[in-house]
Homo-oligomer: A and B are copies of this chain.
Amino acid sequence: MESFKRIPAHIGIIPDGNRRWAQEKGYQKKDGYKYGIKPGFELYEMMIEYGIKEATFYGFTKDNNKREKEQREAFTKACTDAVELLSGKDANLLVIGNIDSPEFPVELKKYANRRVNFGRGLININFLVNYDWEWDLKNLIQNKCLRSADISRVDLIIRWGGRRRLSGFLPAQSVYSDFYIIDDYWPSFKQAHFINALRWYQNCDVTLGG
């Protein structure tokens, strides 16, 4: 196990490229999502091994619901399947997303907006499901706090699939995050991706503006 000068406390994961990966394989676009579950748990195990305290996975967003019905059903199922698997592991899960819209999967309501402990609780896992950055911020108007107020500042964001943008990922917690982009699609996750991200991050000059 490699050692690093500095480890991020909280990592944001943007697992993009499932549809492009599926198309390259000759599958239908919707079929990409289910291949994103196994990589998520490989990464989960590595994060525990390296002592990461908190990780936020980008499930799907309000804007993603503009996609075709088959794709919507497929990414929603991948999210609920992932949580079912996680419930047999050692994590403290917090699901954040708009539960008042019909796109929020009913199976996940019991994990929404409060942290639920699984097993030995070795890592805090936040899962953004039917998340909407505007809904998150507008809660400041109604309730004087973010919907995602229980999610801490993100130190490092790793995005798969080559796009260089946040796509609405936790705008308040990402203000000082360092971004690491991986061109490979998420279902092609390799352990080296994560190790390379940590290698890069240890040399980032974290100043928070000072």
Contact = CB atoms under 8 A, between A and B. Distances in A.
Interface of A: 61-64, 66-67, 133, 137-138, 140-141, 144, 163-168, 171-172, 174-180, 204-205, 208-210
11 contacts: A61-B209, A63-B210, A64-B209, A133-B172, A137-B140, A164-B204, A165-B179, A166-B176, A168-B176, A168-B209, A171-B172
> Interface SS of chain A: helix, strand, loop or mixed?
loop
Contacts of A180: 164
Nearest to A180: B164
Nearest to A166: B175
Contacts of A177: 165-166
Contact of A172 (B137, B164, B176, B205): B137
A184 to B, nearest CB: 17
A64 B174 CA distance: 18
Contacts of A141: 140-141, 144
Contact of A209 (B66, B144, B172): B66
Nearest to A210: B66
